[in-house]
Amino acid sequence: MSDSIELPENQHNSADKHPSIDTAAIAGMYRTWFLDYASYVILERAVPYIEDGLKPVQRRILHSMYEMEDGRYNKVANIIGNTMKYHPHGDASIGDALIQVGQKDLLVDTQGNWGNIHTGDSAAASRYIEARLSKFALDVVFNPKTTVWQQSYDGRNREPVTLPVKFPLLLAMGVEGIAVGLASKILPHNFCELLQASIDVIKGKRPNLVPDFITGGLADFSKYNEGLRGGRIRVRAVIDKIDKKTLVISQIPFGTTTTSVIESILAAVEKGKIKIKKVEDNTAAQVEIVINLHPDASQDPDKAIEALYAFSLCEVSIAPNSCIIEEGRPRFVGVNDILEISTRNTVDLLKLELEIAREEKNRNGTTVHWKKSLLRSESTAPLRCAKHGNK
């Protein structure tokens, strides 16, 4: 026995009795909403802007840290809370983005346990670690006089549309983001090589950039294709022979950790691809994975190394996809073209700063002490560069 419920007569055909109510097909509504959502994720979440090389969350974090800057370290929890004035997507996304920026050791000066890029260990809780802007960031990234501003999402504050970065930051830090139907993966490049390539661009020469990985490794860039879709890089770990039964991995491929490499080696052992007695992870400041071959194995160390490359993460293939936002829409641009655009932007920003300084001097009738970066740009002092990574 089933009960039926009848609606009152005055509730039938309410749309017919109220012609002012708009109706729309469900399919059309979903199509419009999904397009709006996809556009928002592409422009406001996952893909960096060519002007400053930053995703919106990274830009808001840096702007918030500049707002809090007093020369001292701030708790990361406080930075996250202040950034939520500008970023409406929660504290977790802000914290993760700040940790990633801090681990690159370029824009943020860190204090405390910020994790380990080699082992994959996570950072301590945000209430325990601290950060402040690096001297490099203060000198190169910010200038309120040349910044274009916009209202924040709730209209209570203002935030920069883009930061006036006078450096190819996007190529130095690299970026990876997945949007709706679109992805961006730009690999990091060497700090000193970017400076020299920018000088070559100013001289009218065409740059030829290849990535540089802070984790080291051996890489084949013959099919890099300027970082565009279709390109591919093969990266191998550095494996040294200590003796006939002992191997040591001292550098790992980009995008892997010692944990993931060891797990892939153990998986190959279980499948019978290689005979290994024991694997030890002695990684601290430097990578050190000790592999003890099985004493009864007849294979020589060279064949064991080839098996590690073939059946574990000691060799990986990386597919770059250089996608950026330019003039409000996504574009696929090669890394050499990105450097040329960045160099032109830097020159324009320096000219604008000099023009503002001249106008202020003429208006005030006094000498304006401009930023030290303009004075240092005339210096020919050599730069010291680390072997790996962007220092």
Which of the two residues, 390 and 341, has the higher pLDDT score? Answer: 341
pLDDT(196) > 50 = yes
User: What pLDDT, on a 0 to 100 scale, did the predictor assign at position 157?
Assistant: 94
Structural domain spans, the chain? 54-164, 235-317
Please name which of 37, 79, 34 lies closest in space to residue 58, comparing C-alpha atoms: 79
Over residues 33-44, the mean pLDDT reads: 80
Over residues 54-62, the mean pLDDT reads: 96
How many Å apart are CA 238 and CA 216, to the nearest integer?
8
Active site residue 128: yes
User: What pLDDT, on a 0 to 100 scale, did the predictor assign at position 378?
Assistant: 44
* Tokens (6 digits) for 361: 């001097």
* Tokens (6 digits) for 115: 């994790």
How many Å apart are CA 191 and CA 101, to the nearest integer?
15
- Cβ atoms of residues 100 and 131 within 8 Å: no
Confidence band, pLDDT 50/70/90 cuts, at residue 32 = confident
DSSP 8-state class, residue 127: T
Give the DSSP H/E element, type plus range, for residue 293: strand 289-293
Confidence band, pLDDT 50/70/90 cuts, at residue 34 = confident
Quick one: 54-164 is in which CATH superfamily?
Answer: Topoisomerase II, domain 5 (3.90.199.10)
Q: Is 380 helix (H, G, I), strand (E, B) or coil?
A: coil
For 353-381, how does the pLDDT look when each residue is reduced to its tens digit (9 = 90+)? 999 999 998 888 655 454 544 444 444 44
Instruction: For residue 118, count other CB atoms closer than 10 A to its CB.
Output: 23
Which of the two residues, 140 and 386, has the higher pLDDT score? Answer: 140
User: What pLDDT, on a 0 to 100 scale, did the predictor assign at position 200?
Assistant: 96
Q: Please state which of the four CATH numbers 3.40.50.300, 3.30.1360.40, 3.40.50.1820, 3.30.2130.10 is assigned to the domain occupying 235-317.
A: 3.30.1360.40
Over residues 281-296, the mean pLDDT reads: 90
Over residues 344-354, the mean pLDDT reads: 96
User: What pLDDT, on a 0 to 100 scale, did the predictor assign at position 298?
Assistant: 63
pLDDT(304) > 60 = yes
How many Å apart are CA 387 and CA 391, to the nearest integer?
9
Instruction: For residue 303, count other CB atoms closer than 10 A to its CB.
Output: 12
User: What pLDDT, on a 0 to 100 scale, did the predictor assign at position 29?
Assistant: 67
User: What pLDDT, on a 0 to 100 scale, did the predictor assign at position 364?
Assistant: 82
Q: Which of 94-98, 225-229, 324-328, 371-375 has the lowest mean pLDDT?
A: 371-375
pLDDT(30) > 80 = no
Give the DSSP H/E element, type plus range, for residue 107: none
For 66-76, how does the pLDDT look when each residue is reduced to its tens digit (9 = 90+)? 999 999 999 99
Which of the two residues, 33 and 142, has the higher pLDDT score? Answer: 142
Please name which of 206, 216, 204 lies closest in space to residue 334, comparing C-alpha atoms: 206
How many Å apart are CA 258 and CA 290, to the nearest integer?
11
Q: Of residues 128, 153, 224, 309, which has the active-site annotation?
A: 128
User: What pLDDT, on a 0 to 100 scale, did the predictor assign at position 389?
Assistant: 44
Radius of gyration of the chain (CA): 27
pLDDT(63) > 60 = yes
Give the pairing type, strands 183-186 and 175-178.
antiparallel
pLDDT(255) > 90 = yes
Q: Which amino acid type is present at position 15?
A: A
- Cβ atoms of residues 385 and 202 within 8 Å: no
Which of the two residues, 8 and 331, has the higher pLDDT score? Answer: 331
